[in-house]
Amino acid sequence: MKRAEAIFWPALLCAALLLAWQLATLHTPVVPSPVRVLRGFGELVRKRILLSYIASSLWRVAKGYLAAVCLGIPAGAALGYHPALRQSANFTIQMLRPISPLAWMPMAVVWFGVGDATPVFLIFIGAFFPILLWTAEGVRNVPNVLVLAGRNFCSSNVAVIFRVMIPAAFPKILTGLRAALGIAWIVVVAAEMIAVDSGLGYLIIDSRNAGQRYDLVIAGMLLIGAIGLTLDLGLQSAERTKFLSWGFSHEPAD
Residue 68 lies in a domain: yes
Domain span at residue 62? Answer: 58-197+227-250
242: confidence class by pLDDT, cuts 50, 70, 90: low
Asked, for residue 37, whether it belongs to a domain, the answer is no
The rounded mean pLDDT for the chain is 85
* Amino acid at position 229, single letter: L
- The count of other CB atoms within 10 Å of the CB of residue 167 is 16
pLDDT at 183 over 90: yes
215 is a domain residue: no
Amino acid at 52: S
Whether residue 220 lies inside any domain: the answer is: no
Q: Which of 136, 15, 126 is nearest to 76 (CA)?
A: 136
DSSP letter for each residue of 98-158: TS-GGGGHHHHHHHH-SSTHHHHHHHHHHHHHHHHHHHHHHHHTS-HHHHHHHHHH-SSHH
In the chain, % of residues over pLDDT 90 = 40
pLDDT of residue 55: 94
As a dihedral over the C-alpha atoms of residue 223, residue 216, residue 55, residue 45, rounded to 10 degrees, the angle is 100
Q: Is there a domain that residue 203 lies in?
A: no
Is residue 117 situated within a structural domain?
Answer: yes
Instruction: Tell me the per-residue pLDDT of 40-55, one tens digit each, with 9 for 90 and over.
Output: 888 888 888 889 999 9
End-to-end Cα, the chain, rounded Å: 22
pLDDT in tens, 61-71: 999 999 999 99
Please give the average per-residue pLDDT across 178-191, as a whole number. 92
For 196-237, how does the pLDDT look when each residue is reduced to its tens digit (9 = 90+)? 888 999 999 988 887 788 889 999 999 999 999 999 888 888
110: amino acid identity, one letter: V
* Domain containing residue 91: CATH number: 1.10.3720.10
Q: Is residue 21 part of a domain?
A: no
With residue 30 as reference, give the H or E element that holds it: none
Q: Are 193 and 201 in contact (CB under 8 A)?
A: yes
Question: Which of 48, 40, 57, 22 minimizes the C-alpha distance to 210?
Answer: 40
Is 99 a member of any domain? yes
| Domain count along the chain | 1
